[in-house]
Chain A
Amino acid sequence: MQRIGVFVCWCGSNIAGTVDVQAVSDALRNEPGVVFSTNYQYMCSQAGQDIIIQAVKEHNLTGIVVCSCSPRMHEATFRKTAAAAGLNPYMVEIANIREQCSWVHKDMASGTEKAIILGKAAVAKVNLNAPLTPGETPVTKRALVIGGGIAGIQTALDIADAGFPVDIVEKNPTIGGKMAQLDKTFPTLDCAACILTPKMVDVAQNDNIRIFSYSEVEDIKGFVGNFDVKIRKKARFVKEDICTGCGLCTEKCPVRKVPNEFNLGMDNRRAIYIPFAQAVPKVATIDPDACNMLKSGKCGVCSKVCTAGAIDYKQQDEILDEKYGAIVVATGFNPISMDKFDEYAYNQSKDVITSLEFERLTNAAGPTQGKLLRPSDLKHPHTIVFVQCVGSRCASCAEKGKEYCSKICCMYTAKHAMLIRDKYPDTEVYVFYIDVRTPGKNFDEFYRRAVEEYGVKYIKGMVGKVVPEGDKLKVQASDLIAGKQLHIDADLVVLAAAIEPDKSARPLATMLTASMDTNDFFTEAHPKLRPVESPTAGVFLSGACQGPKDIPETVSQASAAAAKVIGLLVKDKLTGNPCVASANEMMCNGCSTCERVCPYGAITYIDKEFRMPDRTVATRRVAQVNPAVCQGCGACTVACMSGAMDLRGFMSSQIIAEVDAICK
């Protein structure tokens, strides 16, 4: 028989406001096995933990029930307390009387009743608890960073700097991501390339970093400290180690009219291309959808002009098997499609562009060599209208826009407007806004400068319709402060398109068993206290894959994720989770159901010899769980038809005892 102590927490008024904590501790004192029961204002405080330690010693407790907040919050705390008192940490159970009780009830009587029931269930479980000892697993001291934008670059550099090897997998031919496409950066207006490309070079030159560009993660198995990852290196039909990046092939290629994705289709590239001058790796790539040689076997110009002999039309995709201790997701973002917002005529006029397209239009390496010329006729626009929140804060229809604020648009729009007025003072610039959101260091000052020093016309209101007519874009908009409807003949309209996670994030989350929110942003382990960790152990989050972010925030988070990775890789061994499945070999009928449902590949079958009652020996096929791989999800225990599979710490008998206690 256990000797159980019950400790009911008030959580200030969080619990005590809706639950009669004295009544709970009094009621639980009479439960089977309970020899001590008390309540206290903050059980998680040092004083609260001391009460537990004291009680264990005074009453020779063998088990502990803490009625408090969610086990996600403080289970680890109270397990440590138990260990400090000399108990096995797995003899602690938490009854969640805060999130599942006080926070969802308004009425003291029903809150108290439910708290008592939850406490009884926890007591019933502890009665059947057994001490558990976690195993240890080694750590592979190499990290994988998925995505080679500024987030992935910063994370990789920081991990490498701490002395650990790290690989970057980037799906495009070069690292650099969105930041490489930007012109200037707010609020200091330094040029994006000037601050990004040295970091890209650092990555290329760092002995601890390998770049797998034009590559994608194909499969991920394993667990924290021991991930097995398959990486597909897509055939670029150029030998990466031989190509010198001289660019001769890209000049001679006869296929000239392939839309250039780096300039967002506003100019053309060749079928063999290097995305931009500072690309890393600076290696050519053949676009198989455009290349005549690959499509019809007729051409071969690039091969003829390549003095290094780097062209290889026969190159195949290559699959690499790599092992990692930690994985960082840095898959970034994209602007959403403007197809569903054609009241702004994006699909009807070349002179309606997105803000990212505008970046390319003002960039010296862009399609207009940095001269602000509008796409339709390459004339200098004299009236420019910026529309904010296109598809952001849009709750009317999910397939159209995004309910969240995209966060970066207010600032980059202020930047664009200011730069235009600086370079072309004869240009009238309007910005239509719902709210101007500038929380960030020197951000509001920046926006005010655009208004006060540069004379950008900020108008509180929205654009309702853009009508291309003649060589003008007739903009119809509201000015809510003046109470007017404005009609502006514009030359260029720039849409601040909402941003969304990259499409590769969703399948990646499935491979990682990492959770996402409804918008496909990765969920952090705790929104405030663990913002760079995924709830899946060993998986970390960097940059806009977790939520909209500007560059300063992205870099901060990237370094924070690196610190977490370093903290993991520096360990030689990891303490595992003892709450793993195990098969009762005598009951196992060898049906393989558990093996099929296990998401982690933790179950294998072996042939084992058993001595039968008649002293003969029989060979039977039975399930075996690898405790290092098992994550304790319990899928196998539910699927097992013979009842052979059970989960330590959550045995079927314990669950049933809890249910019985609740239903009693």
Chain B
Amino acid sequence: MKVSYFPGCTLKNKAKDLDVYARKCAEILGVTLEEIENWQCCGGVFTSKDEVATKLSSLRALRYAQDRSQPLVSVCSACHNVLKQTNYLMQNDQAFANKANLYMTSNESCDPYDGTTAVYHYLELLRDVVGFDKIAEKVTNPLTGRKIAPYYGCLLLRPNSVMQMDDPENPTIFEDFIRALGAEPVVYSMRNECCGGYVTMEDPDFSKSKSNAVVNNAVSFGAECVVTACPLCKYNLDKNTHTIPVVYFTELLAEALGIKEDCDNA
């Protein structure tokens, strides 16, 4: 199966790992991530819906996928959040959709975006398209005995009315993923609380206290490692806490599928 892939800025730079592991693992699982040509930065955050310009890069990606009848997949939580929210706006706000489509069609001779692209986070792709049971079958190096704490943060789950990934207060997708890799998920309640986000730039002490609250809670339940899908979460947790390692979920997946070294050497 082929999908349109939106890597995003950070995955081309500071979070290259996240990208490389994701691509290699997808191949093994029978999915080809076709990188969107000339994709543009999503903007990092979804802003007020009275702004059209900040939605256009997402809209372009959505339409790229529509033209190919492919789902649109991203790995970064922030990109996924912006793409998904833009898609929701295009589907549910006709006035906005008309306005935004005008921008697009005036420059490019193609049909307006009709709201039909399915937007998946890579985790959803694994759960809903590949299937966690299928992944479990492909695991050659099960992470048996490892106690891993998933960190959802904010962007995967909220706003729930749009994201619809999982129960926003008691999600299980990450835990099920960890189980599929043969490891033991650590369920802890701070897994959907904020790490401090972009405010880390102006107020590093603040994100330190937020990140520590998350990791300390995970450690109190016996976690040996925290996994995340978001480069900014990883940065905040890595920089501010030093008790247990923080890794990308795709790295764990590569490890379990037995291709981590290949990726690291690539």
Which chain A residues lie closer than 8 Å to B161 at the CB level? Answer: 397
B119 part of interface (Cβ distance < 8 Å): no
Contact A465 B167 (CB under 8 A): no
- How many Å from the CB of A391 to the closest CB on chain B? 12
Of A31-39, A334-342, A428-436, A544-552, which stretch is located at the interface? Answer: A334-342
- A473 — nearest CB in chain B belongs to which residue? B189
Report the bound CA distance from A340 to B168 in whole Å: 8
Which chain A residues lie closer than 8 Å to B167 at the CB level? Answer: 339-340, 342
Report the bound CA distance from A470 to B216 in whole Å: 10
Report the bound CA distance from A341 to B170 in whole Å: 8
Contact A468 B169 (CB under 8 A): no
Among the listed B169, B188, B216, B220, which residue makes an inter-chain contact with A343, where contact means beta carbons less than 8 Å apart?
B169
Output the residue of B187, B189, B193 with the most chain A CB within 10 A: B189
Which chain B residues lie closer than 8 Å to A345 at the CB level? Answer: 189
Contact B189 A466 (CB under 8 A): yes
Which chain A residues lie closer than 8 Å to B190 at the CB level? Answer: 467
Contact A470 B220 (CB under 8 A): yes
Contact B189 A467 (CB under 8 A): yes
- A347 — nearest CB in chain B belongs to which residue? B170
Among the listed A340, A467, A469, which residue makes an inter-chain contact with B169, where contact means beta carbons less than 8 Å apart?
A340
- How many Å from the CB of A412 to the closest CB on chain B? 25
Which chain A residues lie closer than 8 Å to B220 at the CB level? Answer: 469-470
Residue interface bits A224-253, CB-to-B below 8 A is 1, else 0? 000000000000000000000000000000
Report the bound CA distance from A471 to B170 in whole Å: 20
- B219 — nearest CB in chain A belongs to which residue? A469
Report the bound CA distance from A110 to B152 in whole Å: 59
| Chain A-chain B contacts (Cβ-Cβ < 8 Å), number | 28
Report the bound CA distance from A621 to B220 in whole Å: 80
From 313 to 351 in chain A, residues with beta carbon under 8 angstroms from any chain B beta carbon are 339-343, 345, 347-348
Residue interface bits B150-170, CB-to-A below 8 A is 1, else 0? 000000000001000001011
Residue interface bits A130-167, CB-to-B below 8 A is 1, else 0? 00000000000000000000000000000000000000
Contact A465 B193 (CB under 8 A): yes
Output the residue of B170, B187, B216, B220 with the most chain A CB within 10 A: B170
Which chain B residues lie closer than 8 Å to A469 at the CB level? Answer: 189, 216-217, 220
Contact B170 A339 (CB under 8 A): yes
- A467 — nearest CB in chain B belongs to which residue? B189
Contact B217 A348 (CB under 8 A): no
- How many Å from the CB of A495 to the closest CB on chain B? 13
Residue interface bits B188-205, CB-to-A below 8 A is 1, else 0? 111001000000000000
Report the bound CA distance from A1 to B169 in whole Å: 72
Which chain B residues lie closer than 8 Å to A467 at the CB level? Answer: 189-190, 217
From 193 to 231 in chain B, residues with beta carbon under 8 angstroms from any chain A beta carbon are 193, 216-217, 220
Which chain B residues lie closer than 8 Å to A468 at the CB level? Answer: 188-189
Output the residue of B169, B190, B220 with the most chain A CB within 10 A: B169
Which chain A residues lie closer than 8 Å to B216 at the CB level? Answer: 469
Contact A342 B169 (CB under 8 A): yes
Contact A341 B169 (CB under 8 A): yes
- How many Å from the CB of B203 to the closest CB on chain A? 17
**Chain B: interface residue count, which band?**
10 to 19
Among the listed A342, A397, A470, which residue makes an inter-chain contact with B170, where contact means beta carbons less than 8 Å apart?
A342
From 206 to 258 in chain B, residues with beta carbon under 8 angstroms from any chain A beta carbon are 216-217, 220
Report the bound CA distance from A631 to B188 in whole Å: 59
Report the bound CA distance from A469 to B220 in whole Å: 6
From 460 to 494 in chain A, residues with beta carbon under 8 angstroms from any chain B beta carbon are 465-470
Report the bound CA distance from A465 to B216 in whole Å: 16
Which chain B residues lie closer than 8 Å to A397 at the CB level? Answer: 161
- How many Å from the CB of B194 to the closest CB on chain A? 11
- B161 — nearest CB in chain A belongs to which residue? A397
Which chain B residues lie closer than 8 Å to A341 at the CB level? Answer: 169
- How many Å from the CB of A348 to the closest CB on chain B? 6
- How many Å from the CB of B173 to the closest CB on chain A? 15
- How many Å from the CB of B20 to the closest CB on chain A? 35
Which chain B residues lie closer than 8 Å to A470 at the CB level? Answer: 220
Report the bound CA distance from A469 to B190 in whole Å: 10
Report the bound CA distance from A468 to B187 in whole Å: 10
Which chain B residues lie closer than 8 Å to A339 at the CB level? Answer: 167, 170
Report the bound CA distance from A343 to B157 in whole Å: 13
Report the bound CA distance from A470 to B187 in whole Å: 13
Which chain B residues lie closer than 8 Å to A347 at the CB level? Answer: 170
- How many Å from the CB of B210 to the closest CB on chain A? 12
- B218 — nearest CB in chain A belongs to which residue? A469
- How many Å from the CB of A37 to the closest CB on chain B? 51
Contacts known (A397-B161, A469-B217, A470-B220); A348 close to B170, Cβ less than 8 A = yes
Report the bound CA distance from A31 to B189 in whole Å: 75
Report the bound CA distance from A469 to B167 in whole Å: 21
- A470 — nearest CB in chain B belongs to which residue? B220
Report the bound CA distance from A348 to B188 in whole Å: 8
Report the bound CA distance from A336 to B190 in whole Å: 24
Report the bound CA distance from A468 to B220 in whole Å: 9
Which chain A residues lie closer than 8 Å to B189 at the CB level? Answer: 345, 348, 465-469
- B214 — nearest CB in chain A belongs to which residue? A467
Output the residue of A343, A345, A466 with the most chain B CB within 10 A: A343
Report the bound CA distance from A466 to B188 in whole Å: 11
Report the bound CA distance from A348 to B216 in whole Å: 17
- B169 — nearest CB in chain A belongs to which residue? A342
Which chain A residues lie closer than 8 Å to B187 at the CB level? Answer: 348
Output the residue of A345, A397, A469 with the most chain B CB within 10 A: A469
- How many Å from the CB of A227 to the closest CB on chain B? 43
Residue interface bits A363-401, CB-to-B below 8 A is 1, else 0? 000000000000000000000000000000000010000
Report the bound CA distance from A582 to B216 in whole Å: 78
Report the bound CA distance from A245 to B193 in whole Å: 53
- A472 — nearest CB in chain B belongs to which residue? B220
- B170 — nearest CB in chain A belongs to which residue? A342
- How many Å from the CB of A377 to the closest CB on chain B? 16
Report the bound CA distance from A172 to B13 in whole Å: 63
- How many Å from the CB of A398 to the closest CB on chain B? 12
- How many Å from the CB of B253 to the closest CB on chain A? 26
- How many Å from the CB of B47 to the closest CB on chain A? 22
Residue interface bits A282-316, CB-to-B below 8 A is 1, else 0? 00000000000000000000000000000000000
Which chain A residues lie closer than 8 Å to B188 at the CB level? Answer: 468
Report the bound CA distance from A467 to B169 in whole Å: 12
Report the bound CA distance from A89 to B187 in whole Å: 72
- How many Å from the CB of B192 to the closest CB on chain A? 9
Which chain B residues lie closer than 8 Å to A340 at the CB level? Answer: 167, 169
Report the bound CA distance from A496 to B59 in whole Å: 44
Which chain A residues lie closer than 8 Å to B193 at the CB level? Answer: 465
Residue interface bits B61-105, CB-to-A below 8 A is 1, else 0? 000000000000000000000000000000000000000000000
- How many Å from the CB of B175 to the closest CB on chain A? 12
Report the bound CA distance from A342 to B220 in whole Å: 19
A-side residues, CB < 8 A to B, are 339-343, 345, 347-348, 397, 465-470
**CB-CB nearest 10 A-B residue pairs:** A342-B169, A342-B170, A467-B189, A469-B220, A343-B169, A345-B189, A469-B217, A347-B170, A348-B189, A470-B220
B-side residues, CB < 8 A to A, are 161, 167, 169-170, 187-190, 193, 216-217, 220
Could you write out 25 A-B pairs with CB less than 8 Å apart?
A339-B167, A339-B170, A340-B167, A340-B169, A342-B167, A342-B169, A342-B170, A343-B169, A345-B189, A347-B170, A348-B170, A348-B187, A348-B189, A465-B189, A465-B193, A467-B189, A467-B190, A467-B217, A468-B188, A468-B189, A469-B189, A469-B216, A469-B217, A469-B220, A470-B220
Q: A347-B170, A469-B217, A470-B220 are in contact. List 10 more A-B contacts (CB 8 A).
A: A339-B170, A340-B167, A342-B169, A348-B187, A397-B161, A465-B193, A467-B217, A468-B188, A469-B189, A469-B216
